[in-house]
Amino acid sequence: MFYNKRKHISFLAYMKVLRTLTIVAVLLLCCSVQAQDKAVMGRHQQQLASLLNRVASAPTDNERYLASEQAVQALAQALGEDESEKWKWNLPTVASVLTSPDGLLRIFSWAVVRDDGEFECFGAVQYYNDKEEEYQFSLLHDKSEEIMNREESTLTPDQWLGAVYQELIQTSASGKTVYTLLGWNGVDNLTERKIIEPVIFRGGVPQFGAPVFRRERNQRRIVLEYTDKAMVNLSYEEQFVEEVEHNRVKVKGTNRYRTEEKSKLHKEKMILFDEVEPQVPGMEGLFQYYVPSGVEMAYAFIDGKWELRNGAQGRLKDKKLNKPFEPIDKQAPAYKR
């Protein structure tokens, strides 16, 4: 059989060109799909941003609530899009959008402020369900007034202690991840509330509240409620911590020993917050009379638990005490507190 080398080379060249064209076509198709996805998510973001601006600026309760309900629907449509978890949101400051460092949890939150000064929170949580191996989302329903044991209850997105979240902290130990949210709620014209809210996954879905506070068996979250005329700090910061070492030292020339104390400072990430208490005795449980006691508290994450450090002294880099107890403007966006 006669072998035509020229024809064989031509055939190989043809196949190479065909493969190249196929790869280019696939890349162009992928780029086109990505461009379409980006355009779709861009429209969702524009619509949601417009509605959230109305939540903040509409003149009546009915208009603010209508805008918020429409914002919830718009957010649900956006989160239902393929790969919406990859979208980098840019929303008005009335809303908070927090994403965990591992990308497995994202939470949206905002508040409607009524004419009588009462707050109601709205939002959604988007998360990776490792049982279903896909990203899902749940809308958040504020049931603050129906939850009796606020610090001891395990909650779901359908039964949520509403808050506008300021920070999302991701910690892990022994292969288990704990997400901790720091949030704020304006409550009403008498009190405000700050919340330390742990989030863990059970059966692939998020659960609000968890027994991750060492030495506090029934506590699922920390709730600080106080007069709206006070400033209560709640933040996650790298601060100076003073540690005291107790060393057993032999007394020279004897068989006796004495204890020497040596203090040293080191930096550590921790949740700092102000202890609150009634301004006058006998007002326990009447939170409109609660103010900072002057004692600064802290939680440090140690071996999978948040461990309370009583009387913590949070310090800035110059080692000065950080205690900004100043009145606040309640009309300022909640997440900036």
> Can you tell me the distance from the alpha carbon of 209 to that of 325, in angstroms, rounded to the nearest whole number?
28
pTM (2 decimals)?
Answer: 0.79
Q: Long-range contact list for 106-111, CB < 8 A, 24+ apart?
A: 107/165, 107/168, 107/181, 108/75, 109/140, 109/162, 109/163, 109/164, 109/165, 109/183, 110/52, 110/55, 110/68, 110/71, 110/164, 111/162, 111/164, 111/185, 111/186, 111/334
Contact between 273 and 298 under an 8 Å Cβ cutoff? The reply is: yes
Express as a percent the part of the chain with pLDDT over 90: 65
Amino acid at 205: V
pLDDT single digits (tens) 138-166: 999 999 999 999 999 999 999 999 999 99
State the number of CA atoms in the 13 A half-sphere of 246 facing the CB: 3
Asked if residue 248 has pLDDT above 70, the reply is yes
Residue 10: the pLDDT is: 65
Q: 191, 164, 178, 156: which is closest to 271 by C-alpha?
A: 178
pLDDT single digits (tens) 14-64: 666 667 656 655 555 454 445 557 899 999 999 999 999 999 999 999 999
Residue range 91-117: mean pLDDT, rounded: 96
CA-CA distances (angstroms) from residue 233 to 21, 47, 121, 168? 61, 34, 21, 16
Residue 83: the pLDDT is: 92
DSSP string, 42-102: HHHHHHHHHHHHHHHH-SSHHHHHHHHHHHHHHHHHHHTSTTGGG------TTSEEEE-TT
Asked if residue 211 has pLDDT above 50, the reply is yes
Residues whose CB falls within 8 Å of the CB of residue 200, separated by 6 or more in sequence, listed in order: 176, 177, 178, 179, 206, 207, 210, 212
Question: 149-186: b or e for each residue (b if 16 or more CB lie within 10 Å)?
Answer: ebbebebbbebbbbbbbbbbbebeeeeebbbbbbbbbb
Asked if residue 309 has pLDDT above 80, the reply is no
